[in-house]
Structure 1
Amino acid sequence: MKNTRSFYTCLCTIALLLLTSITGTAQQPGTFTAGNKQFLLNGKPYVIRAAELHYPRIPKEYWEHRIQLSKAMGMNTICIYLFWNLHEQREGEFDFTGNNDVAEFVRLVQKNGMYCIVRPGPYVCAEWDMGGLPWWLLKKKDIQVRTLKDAYFMDRTKKFLAEAGKQLAPLQIQNGGNIIMVQVENEYASFGSEQPYMEAIRDAVRASGFDKVQLFRCDWSSNFDKYKLDGVATTLNFGAGSKIDEQFEKLQRVYPNEALMCSEYWSGWFDHWGKPHETRSVASFIGSLKDMMDRNISFSLYMAHGGTSFGQWGGANAPPYSAMATSYDYNAPIGEQGNTTDKFFAVRDLLKNYLQEGETLGAIPAAMPVIAIPAFELKQTAPLFTNLPAAKASADIKPMELFDQGWGRILYRTTLPASTSPRKLVIKDVHDWAKVFVDGEPVGKLDRRRWDSVVEIPAKNATSQLDILVEATGRVNYGKAIIDPKGITDKVILRSASFSKELNDWQVYNMPVDYKFQKSVKFRKKSHSGPGWYRGTFRLKEKGDTYLDVSKWGKGMVWVNGNNLGRFWKIGPQQTLFVPGVWLKKGKNEIVIMEVDAPKETTVAGLTQPVLNALHPDESLLHRAKGQTLDLGGEVPVASGSFTAGTGWKDVQFSKTITGRYFCLEALNAQQAKDPLTSIAELELIGLDGTPLSTLKWKVVYADSEEVTASNSAADKVYDQQESTFWQTQSVGAKPAHPHQIVIDLGEEVQVKGIRVLPRSDKSSAGMIKDYRIFLKVDAFKM
Structure 2
Amino acid sequence: MRRRDFLKLSVLTPCMAWLTPMPVCSTRVSGGHVDVLPDGRPHRLELAERKFLLDGQPLQILSGEMHPARIPAEYWTHRIRMAKAMGLNTISIYLMWNHLESEPGVFDLHSGNRDFVRFIRLCQSEGMWVYLRPGPYICGEWDFGGLPPYLLRHPQIRIRDKDDVDYMAAVRRYIDTIAPLIKPLMAYSGGPVLMLQVENEYASYGHDLDYLKQLQAMWEAHGIRGPFTISDGLSELQQQHTYLPGTALGLDGDTDFAAAQAIAGDAPVWVGEGYPGWLTHWGDKDFQRGDYVATLRKLLQQGHSFNLYVVHGGTNFGFTAGANAKGDYSHFEPVITSYDYGAPINERGEATPDYHAFRQLIAASVRHPLPDVPAAPPAIRFAAVTAEPFASLWDNLPASRRVTAPQANELLFGQDHGLVLYRRSTPGNGGELQIEGVRDYAMVFSDGRYVGHLSRVQHPDLHAGDRIDLPIVAASAAVVLDILVDSFGHVGYGQAMADRKGIVGSVRLEEEILQGWDVFSLPLAGTWLGQLRPLRHAAKRPGLFFKATLALDAVGDSYIDMSGWDKGYLWVNGHLLGRYWKIGPQQRLYCPASWLKRGSNELLVLDMHRTEAASIRGTDALKDMQPTT
TM > 0.5 = yes
Q: Say whether residues 1:315 and 2:315 are aligned partners.
A: no
Structure 2 Cα separation of the partners of residues 25 and 219 of structure 1: 28
Partner of residue 372, structure 1 = 381
Q: CA deviation at 1:258?
A: 2.9
Partner of residue 188, structure 2 = 174
**Which amino acid in the other structure matches residue 289 of structure 1?**
L
Relative to the length of structure 1, the TM-score reads 0.71
Partner of residue 114, structure 1 = 128
Q: CA deviation at 1:582?
A: 1.1
Partner of residue 296, structure 1 = 303
Partner secondary structure for residue 235 of structure 2: coil
Q: What is the aligned counterpart of 1:581 among 589, 593, 615?
A: 593
Partner of residue 29, structure 2 = none
Q: For 1:185-334, list aligned pairs within 5 A.
A: 185-211=199-225, 213-225=226-238, 226-238=241-253, 244=255, 247-281=256-290, 284-319=291-326, 320-334=331-345
Q: CA deviation at 1:395?
A: 2.4
Uncovered stretches (5+) of structure 2, i.e. residues with no partner:
1-36
Q: Deviations over 1:329-383 (max 9, x none)?
A: 0000001111111011011101112226xx5423211221110111011134101
Q: CA deviation at 1:435?
A: 0.4
Partner secondary structure for residue 327 of structure 1: coil
Q: CA deviation at 1:280?
A: 3.3
Q: CA deviation at 1:269?
A: 0.7
**Which amino acid in the other structure matches residue 187 of structure 2?**
I
**Which amino acid in the other structure matches residue 323 of structure 1?**
P
Q: What is the aligned counterpart of 1:184 among 198, 203, 207?
A: 198
Partner secondary structure for residue 206 of structure 2: coil
Structure 2 Cα separation of the partners of residues 386 and 227 of structure 1: 54
Residues 38, 128 of structure 2: 8 Å contact kept: no
**What is the CA RMSD across the aligned residues, in angstroms?**
1.9
Residues 435, 597 of structure 1: 8 Å contact kept: no
Partner secondary structure for residue 617 of structure 2: strand
Structure 2 Cα separation of the partners of residues 527 and 110 of structure 1: 57
Structure 1 Cα separation of the partners of residues 258 and 383 of structure 2: 56
Larger RCO (CA within 8 A; separation ≥ 6):
2
Q: CA deviation at 1:526?
A: 6.0
**Which amino acid in the other structure matches residue 178 of structure 1?**
P
Larger radius of gyration: 1
Q: Say whether residues 1:523 and 2:534 are aligned partners.
A: yes
Q: For 1:650-729, list aligned pairs within 5 A.
A: none
Identity of aligned residues (%): 37
Q: Using a 3 Å threshold, how does the CA distance of structure 1 residues 345 and 613 change in structure 2: closer, same or farther?
A: closer
Q: Using a 3 Å threshold, how does the CA distance of structure 1 residues 308 and 515 change in structure 2: closer, same or farther?
A: farther
Q: Deviations over 1:30-87 (max 9, x none)?
A: 1112121210111110000111001111101111111110101111000001111111
Residues 427, 491 of structure 1: 8 Å contact kept: yes
Q: CA deviation at 1:255?
A: 3.0
Structure 1 Cα separation of the partners of residues 369 and 40 of structure 2: 18
Q: Say whether residues 1:413 and 2:423 are aligned partners.
A: yes
Q: CA deviation at 1:220?
A: 1.2
Relative to the length of structure 2, the TM-score reads 0.88
Q: CA deviation at 1:609?
A: 1.8
Q: What is the aligned counterpart of 2:56 among 19, 22, 43?
A: 43
Q: Using a 3 Å threshold, how does the CA distance of structure 1 residues 526 and 327 change in structure 2: closer, same or farther?
A: farther
Q: What is the aligned counterpart of 1:137 among 116, 137, 151?
A: 151
Q: Using a 3 Å threshold, how does the CA distance of structure 1 residues 455 and 209 change in structure 2: closer, same or farther?
A: farther
Q: CA deviation at 1:162?
A: 1.6
Residues 62, 88 of structure 2: 8 Å contact kept: yes
Q: Deviations over 1:81-135 (max 9, x none)?
A: 1111111111110110121111011011111000001111111000011101111
Structure 2 Cα separation of the partners of residues 154 and 89 of structure 1: 17
Q: Deviations over 1:532-573 (max 9, x none)?
A: 211111111101011101011111111101111000011000
Partner of residue 576, structure 2 = 564
Q: Using a 3 Å threshold, how does the CA distance of structure 1 residues 518 and 602 change in structure 2: closer, same or farther?
A: farther
Partner secondary structure for residue 611 of structure 1: coil
Q: Using a 3 Å threshold, how does the CA distance of structure 1 residues 66 and 515 change in structure 2: closer, same or farther?
A: farther
Uncovered stretches (5+) of structure 1, i.e. residues with no partner:
1-23, 615-783
Partner of residue 652, structure 1 = none
**Which amino acid in the other structure matches residue 93 of structure 2?**
I
Structure 1 Cα separation of the partners of residues 123 and 251 of structure 2: 24
Q: CA deviation at 1:259?
A: 1.6
Structure 2 Cα separation of the partners of residues 254 and 395 of structure 1: 53
Partner of residue 553, structure 1 = 565
Structure 2 Cα separation of the partners of residues 97 and 410 of structure 1: 31
Residues 246, 267 of structure 2: 8 Å contact kept: no
Structure 2 Cα separation of the partners of residues 493 and 110 of structure 1: 59
Residues 515, 563 of structure 1: 8 Å contact kept: no
Residues 381, 526 of structure 1: 8 Å contact kept: no
Q: CA deviation at 1:256?
A: 4.2
Q: Deviations over 1:368-419 (max 9, x none)?
A: 1110111011134101211212222222211000212111111111111222
Q: CA deviation at 1:302?
A: 0.5
Partner secondary structure for residue 592 of structure 1: strand
Partner of residue 617, structure 2 = 605
Q: For 1:363-442, list aligned pairs within 5 A.
A: 363-402=372-411, 403-419=413-429, 422-442=430-450
Q: Using a 3 Å threshold, how does the CA distance of structure 1 residues 509 and 543 change in structure 2: closer, same or farther?
A: same
Partner of residue 84, structure 1 = 97
Partner secondary structure for residue 341 of structure 2: coil
Partner secondary structure for residue 189 of structure 1: helix
Partner secondary structure for residue 504 of structure 2: strand
Q: Deviations over 1:753-772 (max 9, x none)?
A: xxxxxxxxxxxxxxxxxxxx
Q: Say whether residues 1:95 and 2:108 are aligned partners.
A: yes
**Which amino acid in the other structure matches residue 183 of structure 1?**
Q
Partner secondary structure for residue 559 of structure 1: strand
Partner of residue 649, structure 1 = none
Structure 2 Cα separation of the partners of residues 526 and 168 of structure 1: 56
Partner of residue 738, structure 1 = none
Q: Say whether residues 1:503 and 2:503 are aligned partners.
A: no
Q: Using a 3 Å threshold, how does the CA distance of structure 1 residues 599 and 67 change in structure 2: closer, same or farther?
A: farther
Structure 1 Cα separation of the partners of residues 364 and 443 of structure 2: 56
**Which amino acid in the other structure matches residue 295 of structure 1?**
Q
Q: Deviations over 1:134-189 (max 9, x none)?
A: 11111111110111231110111111112121222211011110000000000011
**Which amino acid in the other structure matches residue 377 of structure 1?**
T
Q: Using a 3 Å threshold, how does the CA distance of structure 1 residues 517 and 169 change in structure 2: closer, same or farther?
A: farther
Q: What is the aligned counterpart of 2:505 among 486, 490, 499?
A: 490
Q: Using a 3 Å threshold, how does the CA distance of structure 1 residues 525 and 72 change in structure 2: closer, same or farther?
A: farther
Partner of residue 780, structure 1 = none
Partner of residue 545, structure 2 = 533
